[in-house]
Amino acid sequence: MRLWLLIPLALCLPTLIRSEDYSDVTIVVRGSETIASTSDEFICATIDWWPPEKCNYDQCPWGQASILNLDLTNPLLAKAIQAFSPLRIRLGGSLQDQVLYGTPNLGSPCTPFSKVSSGLFGFSQGCITMERWDAINNLFVNTGAVITFGLNALQGRQQMGKGVWGGAWNSSNALELMEYTVSMNYPIDSWEFGNELSGNGIGASVGAEQYGKDIIELKNIINQLYGNSRKPLVVAPGGFYDQKWYARLLDISGPNVLDAMTHHIYNLGAGNDPQVANRILNPQYLGQTSDTFRDLQMTIQRHGPWSAPWVGEAGGAYNSGSRTVSNTFLNSFWYLDQLGQSAKYDTKVYCRQTLIGGNYGLLDTQTFVPNPDYYSALLWHRLMGNGVISLDTSGSSYLRAYAHCGKQKGGVALLMLNLNKNMGFMVSVRNDLNINAREMAGIRRESSFVHGLKRTVSWVGSKASDGLEKREEYHLTPQGGNPYARTVLLNGGPLQLTENGDIPSLPPVLVSVNSPIYVAPLSITFVVFPDFEAEGCER
């Protein structure tokens, strides 16, 4: 760790950083209004159905992490969920549309998945018993989790051709599960309909017109079952974005039926692709995903403004993730960057694949110990509020920055990702209230460290006139400087579970607002400005 992180005096910085080690950057935060908003449970994680026999690339990384076999009594699991207060959890995945529910009228034995070469994704149908459903819901009630459950949307349909399924949805088994859930007062927040059946589908597909009719049926079931009590949201289709298919789904289902449109993103390639790490550190490559977020936002605005965009599943690298990247510090650059990008386009929920399971779990599949991305998600959840703020950045594209209203202490929270392996950035943060058009036009020409240091005095607005205000800084770096480390450092100290297995506290370093921020090479920095004058956050 660099010594400067422990020294809040900006005047000491020049003696600690050689001139060739950093580049000056100015960030202008436009706090006069918010450009988008997220939900309180924006951070979401998934639990999948994959059994231990799920294998990719000569590895089988799922172990006992399925909805059917996960150790629900492990205290580390409960503590990891509780730390978010609350964490949204989405139960679903590829085998979702082969799941039966062990209700009294099922009419067949309730058995788990087994490998069958002729089955969808190489597995037979599987079944969840009501005893297991009870145990899962008890865990979530006790930990305060917010639950989205994915229903089987292929039940009753027939395969019409290669990968194409037709016919109406048979809702009887799902209805019985939902009736039981209501009778037990299990607080399901949302029912999601189907998994990756949109467009051409993954393994199977269903036409948008039939899908829309079936969603209307699901909405009617929910209205009848829940009566005058709070009704769970209807969420669909949980697939890869296809503009024409998604637009048609909204047109067919009609107003106020589909509350949220979920889509899946795996933009880093296959789990065994040797380019995964390079893509994570390529700002141009990362930025391509914005096209999907923007297009979905526009489709919803034009065809179903009553709905909201969600990312229902995103794991970076598909097929269980990358065994060398997905559980390391390096992966947090992709993850946090996509949280920031998606939020700018009004995404309300972002579900990470997975909470546990595969190579991309926030928790280690075997030990339940948090991987680096867990702490990245927790810091975002605690610091970045719902309101999204635009900003202007001078300098290198390798410094990616996002601003939100502060979550707990007001003001503004800023996330900065330095994708450069060799260059640090000395960042001066300005408020657009205190910068005129002429200054904005010349912002990219500001390069002097001393000049930038002098000009930060009035960045926060009228609230910081006495120079005594502090900001909070959270610097994340990899242990030993190794980007593939499984341990992340916060302000130089390792983040590890306590002796009692509790999630560690995440204390910041307090620094004068009048000093610039140094973002080290290949590091992540959250900064909270409690006194930042942002009118958009005060409305």
For the chain, the C-alpha Rg in angstroms (whole number) is 24
Plot region of 158 (φ>0 → left; ψ -120 to 50 → alpha; else → beta): beta
Contact (Cβ atoms closer than 8 angstroms) between residue 286 and residue 265: no
Q: Within a 10 A sphere around the Cβ of 147, how many other Cβ atoms?
A: 23
Pairing mode of beta strands 384-393, 22-30: antiparallel
Contact (Cβ atoms closer than 8 angstroms) between residue 411 and residue 387: no
Helix 331-344 vs helix 290-303: crossing angle, to nearest 10: 30
Residue 185 CB burial class (10 angstroms; 0-12, 13-18, ≥19): exposed
Q: From CA 5, how far away is CA 519, in angstroms rounded?
A: 10
Q: From CA 96, how far away is CA 311, in angstroms rounded?
A: 17
81-54-148 Cα angle (round to 5): 35
Contact (Cβ atoms closer than 8 angstroms) between residue 36 and residue 345: yes
Annotated active-site positions, please? Answer: 196, 313
Which two tokens mark 123? 């597995």
Contact (Cβ atoms closer than 8 angstroms) between residue 97 and residue 195: yes
- In sequence order, what DSSP letters do the residues of 345-380 get, joined into one string? TT--EEEES-SBSSSS-SB-TTT-PBPHHHHHHHHH
Tell me 152's DSSP state. -
Residue for token pair 């549309």: 97
Start-to-end CA distance of the chain, whole Å, equals: 40
Q: From CA 92, how far away is CA 363, in angstroms rounded?
A: 17
Q: Within a 10 A sphere around the Cβ of 469, how many other Cβ atoms?
A: 17
Q: Which of 275, 283, 342 is nearest to 313 (CA)?
A: 342
> Which amino acid appears at position 226 of this protein?
Y
Contact (Cβ atoms closer than 8 angstroms) between residue 491 and residue 472: no
Q: Within a 10 A sphere around the Cβ of 428, how many other Cβ atoms?
A: 22
Residue for token pair 């410094």: 399
Q: From CA 375, how far away is CA 510, in angstroms rounded?
A: 20
Pairing mode of beta strands 88-91, 43-47: parallel
Kind plus residue range of the DSSP H or E element containing 333: helix 331-344
Q: Which of 107, 157, 5 is nearest to 507 (CA)?
A: 5
Which two tokens mark 459? 């960045």
Indicate the SS3 state at residue 433. Answer: helix
